[in-house]
Structures are given as structure tokens and as C-alpha cells.
Structure 1
């Protein structure tokens, strides 16, 4: 999609569709008041009939308003003015985008960002409008024709600003929002692809394609022979059960000063997880194609950083594999040696993500990183603990925790901190190895993070368990692209790119 900023008298703007916000009890927003005046009170007259519902996101399309240059005027319900916060604003932007898309107008001019949602400045309002609109019109078409797609889908959205002094902030919001939207879309697309297409090799190809698209992005792919030579015994033990070779993907964005310590993002790239010998139940196993959404979010965050050419050194690391039952697959009771030299007793082969991640986290030591953040659809226990709204955040670094939590709140892609106390470490004790790969049912998300913490002693580190937020099930089944927005916000702040 294309996004741009317009200013000037709203009634004189020529557009296939002008989007206006209406608050509860037929209260006109300031842009709507301007159109009402230009049309001789036509908006107020129409609203008295009660055709626009009171719910946030309700819509009503009007045609050929007198004194108004727009072909259509779309009224969008925004609820109570005092309650018009980020969530309701995003809901209104989403409803507007879907309605305009369905109308086949092709383009629109939205005055919703001018409504000053509670807690959002001009920059944030523009950025959220872009992100919400792009997400609303996203369609998965790789393996399915969208027969309901409009002939003239929404392809261009202009954001209207009342004052020219606001334009620079809005334009910056559009620029950042579009890059983040592109990153989210890439993460969603990779997540939605089936496991027979999105294999570890496919992920490696997509990384190379990203390097071609952004020449400043350097991409490396380690093969299984390279991993074997390094001693990545934990990661390779997972891929042995698959006919698809594992790939270790590295994406380097060198936007900062030479010698400046990089931020490293590590994402679990398990392109399909059947559980291995500890086979998962058949019900909803198809959703295990989403077990690579941690890796997909790294792709999305790296894309956003490269598109904005952020002045920061960033490395994206994606250990990619499948986890399938096979004669060569891990067996419960097997013991493997990780890249760190520590041995692991595999009590459950379905706890494989941490085996990929532990070798990846040890590998990160060579970068002398400023900070490492890993993200993974790691445990169902995190979903039970937090539901489908925030990611689970684990770190022993209070300053880093606050930095991530703040980025989550600012971007609307929230996380919630859970304990990472030494009290839980004993649950990983093993009679036969340095540690077991599971710690029992109690505190499963915490013991998984405790496992990873044993491989991160040499740098600042945080872990995001995204099992609850990476995809939706049921009728709305599909990848969400989270936590790309959180990561992008974190990177923007680190790079000093926010005013």
C-alpha cells in the first residue's frame, strides 16, 4: 500500500472516499464539523436518523454530499470521546480500512488521525493508522485464490492533518509505520505458509532475498556441516528426525558505528513441530507450522530496520529446523552436548525449541553483543499463564526489562514480566547430564526460560515467550506478526530515531 500526508481545507479534497470520525450520541469530531458546515448541515441531518450505530467501528457511507469534493464520505463510530484511546482508535482505523476496501474505492483520505486519540501524539496516531490499515487489508493468497477480494482494493491512503506544523511528525509516523507494517506483513506471510513450503531451506532463501532487496544487509547461512564442525549438538539433534536439513541464518545490518556493539535478535525457526518421538496430539497439530513465528518476527524486525536504514548495528539469528519422528530422531532419555559444552538429557522431545535456541545463544557470544533478545513460541504454559494478549518476558536485568516493557506499551504490542528466580533452576536437575530439557509441569514457561538463561551468562539477555500472541486460532486463524512492532519500537529507541 501507499501512504501519504495531505493538508488543506477538508471539504475541497478530491478523493474517492473521505473518512470521518463520529463520537457517541452523534457528536461530530472537528473534521466532521467542517464537512457538516460545508454541506449545509447534511451530516447532522443524516445522523439524526440513527443509521450509524453507537459501537466503535460502526460505519455509514454517504454519497454526493453538497459542498464536498469527495465522492463518498465514510462515517466511522468512535465511541465515547473521553474513552477514545489507542485500542478504540485502532479499531476505528481497522473498520474504516475494511469498509473502504470492500467498497472498491481504491483510495481514501482519512481524518481519523486528527481526532487526537487519548495518549497518542501526531506521530503515534499516524503510525498506528498506517499499521492498522495495512494489517486490515492483508490477504493470504499464496496457496488460495481470494474469491471475495474486491476488484479495486484499497491501495492508497492519505492521512489528513489540520495544521502544516503537524505535517513533519505525521510524515515521520507514516514512514516508520509503513516500515513496521512491511515487517509485520513479512512475519505473517512466513507464519501462514504451510510447512511443506516454508522449510528451513525456504527461510534461508528468504533471508538471501532480503539481502538482495537491501544491499546493506549481509546474510550468512550455516549448513549442517558447519554446525557439526562448531559443535552444535543440541540443535542438530532436533534436525536428525527430519529429511529437511537445518539452516542457521544470520542477517547483519551494519547501520551503526564501526566497532559499536550490536543488538542481537534470536528467533526460533521451527518450521513444523510434530513433537518428535513425544508426538503431539493430532487435534490442531496443523497450527504447529506457526512454531517458527519467533524466527519470522526476527525477519520482520530486520526488514523494518533495513528499510529505515536505522543507525544501529543489528544481527538477526534464526536457527531453523523441523521436529519430526524418525528412526534418527531424539529419543526420551538421550543425552546431547550443546555448543557451550554442557550436556542435556532430553526427557521430552517436544521441548525442542530450547535445544535450537541454546546453541544459537551460545553462538551469539562471538558478537560481543550490547544485548540479546530471543523470542520463541516456546511453551503452552505461557499461554495458560497470560492468555493471548501479552508476550511473556523473562530476564534478570531490571533495566532491560523496563526498556522492553516500555517499548511494548508504546507500540501497543505488550509484554508482561514473569519471574526468573534461581528457585526454579533445581527443577532442571538431571542424574545423567548437566541439565534436563524440561522441569515438569509446574512453572513450565519459567523453567524453559531458566534453561535458556544457562547459556546467556556472558551478555545482557531477555527472553520473550510468544506462544500466546504469535497466531490466532479458530475462524480468524492466522499469524499476527507479533512481536515485530515491539521489536521495531525497541530498535527505534535504541537507534535514537524517535524525537
Structure 2
């Protein structure tokens, strides 16, 4: 696993495999950004190389230069930060995260890396540390094969380099805590990425539950885990998740993860959609629509990782995560359009489209969470294609029953580098869910599909409990090339937002 540390030593004196510095985009091309701590001969050499390469200093640019005079590092990577001057010392957190992430991805096979980007304060140190850790991620595709194919050279997959963040803000308590936090949250986010990237024949409801138990037991914090199997779910009246899972040979589970510190400052609940593979059920998807459906459990992965991070950070808030796990398959026992099921709270629901299954498992999970009367509930899910149509692949939609709380969720996302946008829940859209055969239909028509899905979920929130729903259908899985700190495949989106919310509740 990647290891983070912080240093105030002169960057050029650090005996590492690679030193990362920044560049800015100017009218005359790329110029080295402030904060590098390099001697003049190193600066002159690097500027000459950058000019010869016609570097621009734009975000996403990284140039590796070997044998730089006056530098102990074997090589120097110059990462683009965007617009600025050679004297600019303050950059946005996203620019720092992305530059660090892109640079580290290019050298993650190295054993030791130092990052000397502009860090005038603890917040910028935190951003660099977060981006550097994120950029080191690599899913070990050989792991499912039990090591049949050995890798040659470099660092072992998943091991990651030792990364030193060169701090321009000293090594005070705030800086040390920022780097430590980045390591904890980064490791949790990488676990979420691993879960999302795992092939669906290996990650199904029971194996997901087993993975959570194993990870919780290995944690330094005390996290309790309980599992409701298909018999307990049927007995408990969880008709939504039972119905979704009944067409699969792999029966559903609800996993409850709890961090319950003594003297907790309140309690919060997180509910995650965990469809380990979504074929669409009898309303089967086209073949191209199934290609990324192993990622339909990204909401549960984010919730599991958040509970882990909250516990390992020792946050003084009771955090309970509900992982609603099922496989949506078109087996002989699969539910049909027009079926009516009864949810945990006694609400009858007419099924109109078996490919709108996520809201059914979440509805039961929200009911269960509401029974404990937490201070607030957040659910997170790869819920609707309408989210991608409305907001694209990098911005999540946030809805809820409390505008102030919804705004807090969006703000927590922005602070963590996870973009989201507040969306309304117009009361007039509730009529789209009316049906003569049940209390409610689980789906409306195409128009406003992201909003009607959230309106449906809101029906199951306990009275008086602030609630927000985060639709991450787009940003949870990156089908394109890696960018900045975001890898190809599972992104771990949501972990930063949810951890930030819990910290906010703890008064941090």
C-alpha cells in the first residue's frame, strides 16, 4: 500500500527515485511553478528541456527528465498546474490533486517519490497528499487468478511507492494530520475501487459480505458487521430486495457495518446500492449496456469504505452503513413487470421495470436505517441513466428532503474534489408514481427520471429525518482513459463526500 509522509527538507536534497515539481502555463510556454526548492542550475536545465519539448504547463501534462544537475533524485517529473506565473504560490485544491495524481500515475512503479508542488498552507498539503495517494492506485488484475501470472519488475501491484510530500507550510499539527488523513481516506477509497473493479463472478452478495467482514476484522478500529441472509430478509419483510434477488442463484444480503465510539456526538446512517451485477432482470439490458454493470454496487462500496475511514480516523460520531446487496438476473424465479411487493415498512409497490431495481433495494435499506432514528440519512447509488443525461459522467446529482442538508452534501463533495449538483424534487412529479394496484409504482415515465427515482426513495425516509440521495451513475466508473487523480475503472467516488459529511457532523 502507498505510504505517505511529510518533510520540510529541501526537495533537491531528497534521495528518492523521482521528484515531482509543478509547471504553470504562461504566454511563453511552461515555467516551473514556485515551491520546487531547486538550485539555479537545476531550474535552468529543466526550463531548457521544457522549452525543447514545447511543454505548455497545462493540466494533464507530465514530463519526466533524468539526470537533472543539482538534484539527488534519479529523475524529475514536471506536472502541469494550469495558468499562473513562476511566482504564483496558491493553486486550487483540484489543480493540486490532479497534478499530483497524474504525476504519480506515471511513476507508480518507483519505490520512493517526493512531491514538491506549491503548498503554502495545510489545505494545499492535504490536496497534494490526497492526489498523490489517488494517483498510485492500480488494480491487481492478476489477484483473481491466484497469482498464476507473475509480474516482472517494478513495485508489486497494490503496493505503491513511499511518497513524501514536501511541505511549504511546515510540519505543524495541522499539516501532519492532513497527511495522515489523506492516507486513511486514500486507502479506504482504494478499497472501494478494488471492490468495484472485481469481476462479478467473484463479487456477489455473499462474497461482498465476506470481504467486508475480512476488511473490518483487519482494521485497527472496532467495526461490527452483521448480515441478513435471504431467509432473514424474507422473514423481516424486506420485499424490495428479496424481489430483486429472487432471479439469481446468488441470494441477496443486507450487510450492516457499525462504528460506535464511546461518547459519540450523534449518529448518522449511510445506505448504499449494491447490485453486484445488473442484467436488467426480465427487462434485460442490451449487451452493450451490461459491459460496466459489475460497477452497479459502487454505492455500497463507497458506504463500506466510509465506515472504515470514519472508524480509523476515530471520528466521534456513530456511523452505520447499510449495504443492500443483490444480483439482478433473469432466472426462472425472477420478478415480473406488474408484480406487487411489500417493503420493510409495509408499503406495497408495483414493479413496472425490473431494470429499475436499485430503488427497490435502497427503499428497504432506508426503511431499516430510519428505524434507528439517526440524525440524518444519506443514500448513494448508481441509480439512473437520467443522471448521466442531465449532468454527464463526472458530476453527481444530489436530491433530498431538506435544502440546507442537501447544500451541505454538495459542499462536502466540493471540498473533497467530488463534483455534484443540487437537484429539485418537484412535488408535482409524485403523481407520476400513482398506480391503482399498489400504494406506489416504483417508476414514472422517462421525463425527470432522476427526480422521480429520488421521490420514490423519499417515501421510505422516517418522519423528521433529514435525508439526501446521491446519484453517482456517471462518476462512479470511468470508462475512458485515466485523468488527473481518477483512474480508469472504479473511481471510488463518494468516499470523500461522505467522510467529509461525517467529519462535519463531528465538528471537525
Equivalent in 365, 368, 378 of residue 363 of structure 1: 368
1:22 counterpart = 2:27: no
2:64 corresponds to which of 42, 61, 64: 61
Aligned match for 1:96, one of 79, 82, 103: 103
Residues 189 and 39 (structure 1 numbering): CA distance in 2 closer, same or farther, change over 3 Å? closer
Aligned ranges 1:208-357 → 2 under 5 Å: 208-214=213-219, 215-255=221-261, 257=263, 261-357=266-362
Q: Is the 8 A contact 2:11 2:114 kept in 1?
A: no
Contact 1:182 1:303 (8 Å CA) reproduced: no
2:429 aligned partner: 424
TM-score where L is the length of structure 1: 0.91
Distance in 1 (alpha carbons) for counterparts of 2:319 and 2:196: 22
Matched, 1:123 2:130: no
Match of 1:467 in 2: 473
SS in 2 for 1:35: coil
Aligned CA distance change for structure 1 residues 310 and 6 (closer, same or farther; 3 Å): same
> Matches of 1:204 and 1:238 in 2, distance apart?
18
- Alpha-carbon distance in 2 for matches of 1:163, 1:279: 55
CA distance in 2, matches of 1:339, 1:393: 24
2:46 corresponds to 1:35: no
**How well do the aligned residues superpose, as a CA RMSD in angstroms?**
2.3
Say whether residues 1:8 and 2:19 are aligned partners: no
| Gap change, CA 1:364 and 1:50, over 3 Å in 2 | closer
Counterpart-to-counterpart distance in 1, 2:433 and 2:192: 33
Aligned to 1:119: none
The whole-number CA distance in structure 1 between the counterparts of 2:417 and 2:42 is: 37
- Name which of 492, 495, 501 aligns with 1:490: 501
Where in structure 2 are there 5+ consecutive unaligned residues? 483-487
In structure 2, the residue corresponding to 1:299 is in which secondary structure?
Answer: helix
Aligned-partner SS, 2:39: helix
Alpha-carbon distance in 1 for matches of 2:46, 2:332: 70
Tell me the SS of whatever aligns to 1:4: strand
**Taking structure 1 as reference, are residues 149 and 265 closer, same or farther at Cα in structure 2, changes over 3 Å only?**
farther
**Any idea what the Cα deviations from partners look like across 1:99-158, whole Å, max 9, x if unmatched?**
333xx54211111143x5xxxxx3332232233223222222234789887524751110
Question: Is the CA contact (8 Å cut-off) linking 1:19 and 1:73 kept in structure 2?
Answer: yes
Kept in 2, the 8 Å contact 1:63–1:71? The answer is yes
Structure 1 residues 111 and 167, CA gap change in structure 2 (3 angstroms): farther
| TM alignment of 1:405-424, pairs within 5 A | 405-424=410-429
CA displacement at 1:66 relative to structure 2 = 3.9
Q: Determine if contact 1:19/1:109 at 8 Å carries over to the other structure.
A: yes
In structure 1, distance between residues paired with 2:394 and 2:378: 20
Q: Which SS does the other structure have where 1:216 is aligned?
A: coil
2: distance between equivalents of 1:482 and 1:369? 24
- Give the deviation of 1:401 after TM superposition: 1.0
Do the aligned residues in 1 keep the contact of 2:442 with 2:456 (CA within 8 Å)? yes
Cα separation, partners in 2 of 1:432 and 1:49, compared to 1, 3 Å: closer
1:244 deviation in Å?
0.8
Conserved? CA contact 2:114–2:165, under 8 Å:
yes
Give the match's secondary structure for 2:107. Answer: helix
Is the contact between residue 225 and residue 258 of structure 2 (CA under 8 Å) also seen in structure 1? yes
- Residues in 2 aligned to 1:432 and 1:371: alpha-carbon distance in whole angstroms: 32
How far does the alpha carbon of each residue in 1:348-383 deviate from its partner, in whole angstroms, 9 at most, with x for none?
A: 111111111111111112211000000111111111
Please give the alpha-carbon distance, in whole angstroms, between the structure 1 residues aligned to 2:129 and 2:83: 23
Aligned with 2:115 (options 92, 110, 115): 110
| 1:56 positional shift | 2.9
CA contact (8 A) 2:34 2:117 kept: no
Decide which moves more: 208-217 or 430-439: 208-217
Give the count of matched residue pairs: 486
2:173 is the alignment partner of 1:162: no
Is residue 35–residue 118 contact of structure 2 (8 Å, CA) maintained in 1? no
Secondary structure in structure 1 of the residue aligned to 2:331: coil
1: distance between equivalents of 2:480 and 2:79?
Answer: 27
* C-alpha separation in 1, matches of 2:243 and 2:271: 19
Aligned partner of 2:485 in structure 1 is: none
Q: 2: distance between equivalents of 1:324 and 1:353?
A: 13
SS at 2:378 equivalent: strand
SS at match of 1:78: strand
> Which SS does the other structure have where 1:300 is aligned?
helix
